[in-house]
Structure 1
Amino acid sequence: MFLNDDEKAMRDGAEGAAVAAAMDLLIRYGQALDAERLCDVRNVAGTMTQPSPVKARLVREGGWDKAFAVINLDSDEDLEIPSMRVPTCQLQHGFGQDALDIVPYPKQNIELQASAESFYGRHGVNILATCTPYQVGNLPMRGEHCAWMESSAVIYANSVLGARTNCEGIASTGAASLTGKIPCWGNHRDENRHGTHHIEVNVRVDNFQDWGMLGYFAGGVAGEDHPVITGDISRPDLTELKHFGAAAATSGGVELYHIPGITPEAPALGAAFGGRRPPQPVGYGPAERRAVYETLNEIGTSGDVDFVLLGCPHASVDQIRKTAALLDGKRLSASTELWLMAPRALKDIADRSGYTETIERAGARLLADSCPAMSRAAPKGTKVFATDSAKQAHYLPAILGIEAWFGTLEECVDAAVTGRWNGGLT
């Protein structure tokens, strides 16, 4: 793999042992991928602060320098970690201090995370604590090379923003943060960013739920490739594209999609396929829509709902506002809890706008930093939950061993108020 002079100097220790270890990791990673070179990145989104038993042990043995070396650089050397070379943010992690007595989450994890935030903040990591960094100020430019983790963030960066990133891991983002480099392969290269599958929509898709179901279908069709969507669709907003992408990355491994006339690299159908003739389209009509809905609801059997989860990926201000409006003047069932997950920066906006007060007056909670899937934490005794997220309907039953209902925001709020699931496909 070709290295320029700057990269060779980092490899040879000119910027210290930690940067040399990071460059060694990236060279090995790139060689495994047959990458010809590294590319420059100025935007890294990874995970460093989230608690775990392994991390707690490493911190006891050698502090946060040791934990970063082992987990984020795949190195057993005693390294002193310098400040991040390029702008770097922490994605969602565990719950914070304000979740005590609300979420059944260990206090020692909260304390460990607070210690991590202090260390990494001093080393140039912005603690955004969200799976949607693009909602709180981390907005890479079109064509900008990034090193991001988190499937729903990656697909949004590639598709909606037109930035360039593969779905990276803990070690590769750790190494990128110290070097400003990442192997130039996959979604970083022009020839790999064209559409591979054509999905033609033959049933109207014009709301949050339907964009999620269409995304779930697209992921099943495209797998790890790039679907192109045309047909009877409305012009989606931020939350609908967020929901679509999260679902496509869940049912498949989609990291990039195109919607001609909407996503930046596809002004028309021909551009989406790089000038090649589009393949035979796969239809998405009423039968396919119903099949997706039934798949997302196949684990639900009991009509009694213990828990309602909203905000996956983390909610926008508009989603928080709509939830507050639906809860205004209502009170949750004594047998049901409702958690709405949001970035902490947007929770502050909700606090100041009065939305949090309305939500809490109904007995629900607006929580930040994490989610039940990431922290493996739901209300004690939860057997059945309801959600408007196709992603969580897919994942949480396996993670927590509970039943799931998938529906609209209105149906989920109704389930929280009545304690019963009354949803259905219209």
Structure 2
Amino acid sequence: PYQAGHRPALGSDVAWGESNAVVFCNSVLGARTNRYGDFLDIACAITGRAPDYGLHRPENRLARLVFDVSGLSASFLASEIAWPVLGSLYGREVGNAIGVVTGVAGHPGEDALKAFGAAAASSGAVGLFHIAGVTPEAPDVAAILAGPEPEAVIRVTPEMVAKARAGLSTAAAAKTIDAVAIGSPHLSHAEFDSLERLIAGRQLAVPVYACTGRHALALLEKDGRRKRLEASGVVIVADTCVVVTPIMPDIGNGVLMTNSGKFAHYAPGNTGYAVLYASLADCVESAVLGKPVFTDVAA
């Protein structure tokens, strides 16, 4: 929903659930919410009130540590594959602490921030992150730090990134794949543009399960693109995803490829499929060939 029109304003208080929605709301939109569980969020909706604590308070939103990615290559930071990997590493390193990412030269795009936050909230308990010069509450490092100096500085190295990336795969030696799953968080309209461009009308050897929301799906149906994608072998999943709903066949020892850090984290336990993590481009090429293809940019 946060990419379909319901976007609370900077500084507004809301009560949201779902880890990737909470971290997007706090970090990318700059609205304020805690990680509300089921029924507590409903109680907030009924009463129009939320507890005055945690990330609703401005002083609790200040960063206490720095996550420095300036040691990584510009080509890697500009790639789609970087952000789920960095999010997974960030979550494991910071836990539930508030940090600010430094060393990012330009805005990576909303979908990249969405992927970073979802992975960070899966591997850690991240409810809020800042990126200096990118996210709305962090025009620079000094503006968002809780004190004159950070309590800790995590200097990210290419070796740390390589280890984090390897940790997203549980089937590194696989010679074939059985499916590709993308869209956790749900695919945006722009991400469907990328998917269609990469498929380029080719027939897929294994299905690509593309999870999205009804709003993005309505746009696909309006311009006829849903039929084209499905004709190539894309299975569009609306308003849910393959790790919470039994959509993929139970084949035993299956191998799933994904570009989602969140899928990579949850799929082995929730679906029974081993996972290979790759970029969207490599996911599509692998789906066309039925075997893993890796051409990604190194950190």
User: What TM-score bracket applies, with the shorter chain setting the length?
Assistant: over 0.9
Task: Name which of 108, 124, 130 aligns with 1:236.
Answer: 108
Contact 1:326 1:410 in 2 (8 A): yes
Q: What secondary structure is seen at the aligned counterpart in 2 of 1:339?
A: strand
Corresponding position of 1:172: 40
The question of 1:294 aligning with 2:166 is answered yes
Matches within 5 A, 1:90-129: none
Q: What secondary structure is seen at the aligned counterpart in 2 of 1:314?
A: strand
Task: Name which of 181, 199, 224 aligns with 1:309.
Answer: 181
Corresponding position of 2:207: 337
1:272 is displaced (CA, Å) by 1.5
Q: Distance in 1 between matches of 2:176 and 2:240?
A: 26
Q: Distance in 2 between matches of 1:138 and 1:390?
A: 24
Corresponding position of 1:135: 3
Q: Can you give the 5+ residue segments of structure 2 that lack an aligned partner in the other structure?
A: none
Contact 1:300 1:384 in 2 (8 A): no
Contact 1:327 1:358 in 2 (8 A): no
* Amino acid across the alignment from 2:287: A
1:110-141 deviations in Å (ceiling 9; x for gaps): xxxxxxxxxxxxxxxxxxxxxxx111111011
Q: Distance in 2 between matches of 1:253 and 1:290?
A: 22
1:32-73 deviations in Å (ceiling 9; x for gaps): xxxxxxxxxxxxxxxxxxxxxxxxxxxxxxxxxxxxxxxxxx
Contact 1:290 1:425 in 2 (8 A): no
1:150 is displaced (CA, Å) by 0.6
* Amino acid across the alignment from 1:213: V
Contact 2:81 2:296 in 1 (8 A): no
The question of 1:266 aligning with 2:138 is answered yes
Corresponding position of 2:62: 194
Q: Distance in 2 between matches of 1:179 and 1:377?
A: 37
Q: Distance in 2 between matches of 1:274 and 1:354?
A: 50
Corresponding position of 1:203: 72
Matches within 5 A, 1:202-221: 202-204=71-73, 205-221=77-93
CA 267–234 in structure 1, closer or farther in 2 if over 3 Å, else same: closer
Q: Which has the higher contact order (CA 8 A, sep 6+)?
A: 2
- Which is higher, the Rg of structure 1 or of structure 2? 1
Contact 1:307 1:379 in 2 (8 A): no
Mean Cα displacement is larger for which, 202-211 or 291-300? Answer: 291-300
1:278 is displaced (CA, Å) by 2.2
> TM-score, normalization: structure 2?
0.93
> TM-score, normalization: structure 1?
0.66
Corresponding position of 1:355: 225
Contact 2:87 2:116 in 1 (8 A): yes
Q: Distance in 1 between matches of 2:64 and 2:159?
A: 23
Q: Distance in 1 between matches of 2:192 and 2:107?
A: 21
Structure 1 residue runs of 4 or more that deviate by more than 6 Å after TM superposition = none
1:329 is displaced (CA, Å) by 2.3
Corresponding position of 1:57: none
Corresponding position of 2:125: 253
* Amino acid across the alignment from 2:291: R
Q: What secondary structure is seen at the aligned counterpart in 2 of 1:357?
A: helix
1:415 is displaced (CA, Å) by 1.5
Contact 2:64 2:152 in 1 (8 A): no
* Amino acid across the alignment from 2:137: E
Matches within 5 A, 1:16-95: none
The RMSD of aligned alpha carbons is 1.5
1:191 is displaced (CA, Å) by 1.3
1:311-366 deviations in Å (ceiling 9; x for gaps): 11001101001101112221011xx2211111111111112233312211212122
The question of 1:386 aligning with 2:254 is answered no
Q: Distance in 1 between matches of 2:225 and 2:35?
A: 34
Q: What secondary structure is seen at the aligned counterpart in 2 of 1:304?
A: coil
Q: What secondary structure is seen at the aligned counterpart in 2 of 1:277?
A: coil
Q: Can you give the 5+ residue segments of structure 1 that lack an aligned partner in the other structure?
A: 1-132
State percent identity of aligned pairs.
Answer: 34
1:6-27 deviations in Å (ceiling 9; x for gaps): xxxxxxxxxxxxxxxxxxxxxx
Task: Name which of 245, 268, 283 aligns with 1:412.
Answer: 283
Q: Distance in 2 between matches of 1:167 and 1:233?
A: 30
Q: What secondary structure is seen at the aligned counterpart in 2 of 1:372?
A: coil
Mean Cα displacement is larger for which, 204-213 or 378-387? Answer: 378-387
Q: Distance in 2 between matches of 1:289 and 1:419?
A: 27
1:303 is displaced (CA, Å) by 2.1
The question of 1:369 aligning with 2:239 is answered yes
Contact 2:85 2:119 in 1 (8 A): yes
